Amino acid sequence: MASRNFPEMPTPSSLLSAYASMSTSIMLFRTMFDQFFPRHLRRYVVDAVRFYWKPKSSKLTLVFDEKDGMSSNHMFDAAEAYLCTRINPDSDRLRITKNVKENHINIKFAESEEIVDSFEGISLTWKYVRQHAQQRSGGGGDDFGHGGGKSSSGGGFTPERKYIELKFDKKHKEIIISAYLPSVIKKFQELENQKKVVKLHNLQSYGGGPGGYKESVNLDHPSTFETLAMDPVMKKAIIDDLDLFLTRKDFYKKVGKAWKRGYLLYGPPGTGKSSLIAAIANYLKFDIYDLQLMNVGSDSSLKKLMLRTSNRSILVIEDIDCSIQLPDRKGTAPVKFSDGRSVRDSQFSLSGLLNFIDGLWSCCGDERIIIFTTNHKERLDPALLRPGRMDVHIHMSYLTIDGFKTLAANYLNIYDHHRRFREIKELINCTKVTPAEVAEELMKSDNVEIVLEGLVKFLKRKRLRDDATKEGIDNGDDEVHEDKRAKTVSLIQ
C-alpha cells in the first residue's frame, strides 16, 4: 500500500516558544500604547468606540429626578404618587413609610422594582432607581478604594440620587408627553386633595394698623353636603355650580375675568350658613380665611391682609350687615348703627372692599371663592349685591321636611318613613323652625320614640308661641298682647 503523508505535529518546545513570543509582543504593544496614549485619552477612545458601536434601541427612557436643582421636582412627586396606585400583588419589593403625624401606613414601590402600565394600548415600564452617595476620584488619580483606599487631592463627593425612569417605544413620544403625563399629574392632584387637611385662618391686623398676620388651625368641622339639612334641589345646584367653577380656568382667562366666585348666604340665624361654608370647604378642599371687618382699620390694612390669602381658598366675611358700618363709596359713614351703637372712626371704605371683590386687586389670586353672610339682606348696599361681586344668592330658609329627613338620618339613623313623620311634616309646614333648633331636640336622648315625641311637643309649643306673638303684634294693644302671652304660657305648661 502506498504511504500517506500527514502534517508533522509541533513539538511542545515549539509551542512554548511561540507562546512566549506572542506574550512578549502583547506586553511590548501594551507598554508602547501606555506611553503614547495617556489615560484620559484612552478613556475618550474607549467611550467613543462604545458610543458608535452601541446598537440602536427602539426604546425611549424619560428620567424624573427627585430634585430640580435646589428645589423639588413636581413631576417626580406626581409619578411616585401615581405609581403607588398601580402596585399589584406580583410586586416583589415594596417600601413602607409613615410620618409621625400620619395615621396610616404608606405603601410605595422600592428601588429597582418595575411596574408595567398601559395607556391607549401603549405599554410603559416604570422603574425606581436610587444611586447611593459615593466618593469619586480626581483627575489622574486612582479610584477610591485603590492605592491604599485614599482619593487624590482632586477628588469629590457624589450625593445620593433618586429618580424614576419611564421606558416606552420611541414612536409614542408625542402622545406620552402630551396626554399620558398630564393624566399622571391630574391623578396626583386628586390624591393630594384627598389627603389635604383643610385649614381655618383668622386674618388679624396689628391694632388696626397697616400690618397683619394670620392664625391657623385645622378645620375639623364635619359638615358635608350629605349631612347638610338643605333642600336637595338647592344642594345639587350649589354642587353643580362649584364643579363648573373649578373647570373654567381657561374660560375666565378668555373672557378677561378673575378666576373667582362670589356667594351671598342670607337668612335667619340657625339656618345653616356656617355649616354650608364648612361643607363647601370640605368638598373643595379649600382653606378658609375668616376676615373680621371690625379688625380692619384702613384700605391699606385690607390690602395686606388679602395678600396673605392663598390660591384655592375661601374668603369668608360673616354677618357683614352688623360687623361694621361701612362708609359709602364717597367715604361718608353714618354716625351710628341702626341699633344706636356709635360707629368707630375708620379709614376703611366700601370702595376698598369692592376693589378686592372685582377690582384690580381681585386678580391677585386664582381659584378663589368669596362668601358673605347676613341675616338681613335688605340692609346691604346694592353695590355689594350685583352680579360679578356676589354671583350666587342663596336663601338659607327655615327647615323643610326634606331637611328634617336628613337630620333624622344623621342623628337618629332613621332612613325610612316613621309613623311620626306625617305629624312632624304638618307641624314643620306651618311653623318657622330652624335646623339648629330641631337638631338640638334630636340630641336629647338615644331613644328614638322619646326624641320624636319630644320634638312634636316642641314644634307645637313653638307654633303656639309664634301665633301668640303674631296676634299681639297685629293687635298693637299691650294688654291684649300680655293676655295672649299668658294664655300661651299656660298652654305650654
Helix (H, G, I), strand (E, B) or coil at 75: helix
279 and 191 inside one domain: no
417 and 391 inside one domain: no
Q: How would you classify the pairing of strands 287-291 and 199-205? A: parallel
- Please check whether residue 112 lies inside any domain of the structure: yes
- Please check whether residue 54 lies inside any domain of the structure: no
Residues β-bridged to residue 373: 265
Closest listed residue to residue 79, CA positions, set 195, 180, 188, 161:
188
The per-residue pLDDT for 148 is 42
Indicate the number of domains in the chain: 3
289 and 324 inside one domain: yes
- Please check whether residue 130 lies inside any domain of the structure: yes
Grid coordinates given for 409: 338620618
Among 359, 375, 395, residue at a domain's last position: 395
Distance CA 194, CA 59 (A): 35
Closest listed residue to residue 411, CA positions, set 432, 434, 435:
435
Using the predicted structure, report yes or no on whether residue 482 has a pLDDT greater than 50: no
Distance CA 275, CA 277 (A): 5
Report residue 6's pLDDT band, with 50, 70 and 90 as the boundaries. low
354 and 487 inside one domain: no
Among 355, 377, 395, residue at a domain's last position: 395
288 and 408 inside one domain: no
Domain of residue 270, residue span: 199-334+343-395
225 and 93 inside one domain: no
275 and 287 inside one domain: yes
450 and 321 inside one domain: no
327 and 288 inside one domain: yes
Is the alpha carbon torsion for 347, 351, 356, 362 positive or negative? negative
- Please check whether residue 425 lies inside any domain of the structure: yes
348 and 370 inside one domain: yes
Average pLDDT over residues 98-106: 71
The per-residue pLDDT for 403 is 92
Using the predicted structure, report yes or no on whether residue 77 has a pLDDT greater than 60: yes
> Which pLDDT tens digit goes with each residue over 404-448?
999 999 999 998 888 899 999 999 999 899 999 999 999 999 999
Using the predicted structure, report yes or no on whether residue 118 has a pLDDT greater than 80: yes
Using the predicted structure, report yes or no on whether residue 285 has a pLDDT greater than 60: yes
Whether the CB-CB separation of 371 and 315 falls below 8 Å is answered with yes
Return mean pLDDT, the chain: 78
- Please check whether residue 317 lies inside any domain of the structure: yes
Average pLDDT over residues 196-203: 84
296 and 215 inside one domain: yes
Average pLDDT over residues 128-140: 69
The per-residue pLDDT for 436 is 92
- Please check whether residue 44 lies inside any domain of the structure: no
Which stretches of 334-391 are assigned E, i.e. beta strand? 368-374
- Please check whether residue 175 lies inside any domain of the structure: yes
362 and 446 inside one domain: no
> Which pLDDT tens digit goes with each residue over 317-354?
888 876 555 554 444 444 444 555 444 444 566 676 77
The per-residue pLDDT for 300 is 76
Using the predicted structure, report yes or no on whether residue 466 has a pLDDT greater than 70: yes
Lowest-confidence segment of 89-93, 199-203, 419-423 by average pLDDT: 89-93
- Please check whether residue 235 lies inside any domain of the structure: yes
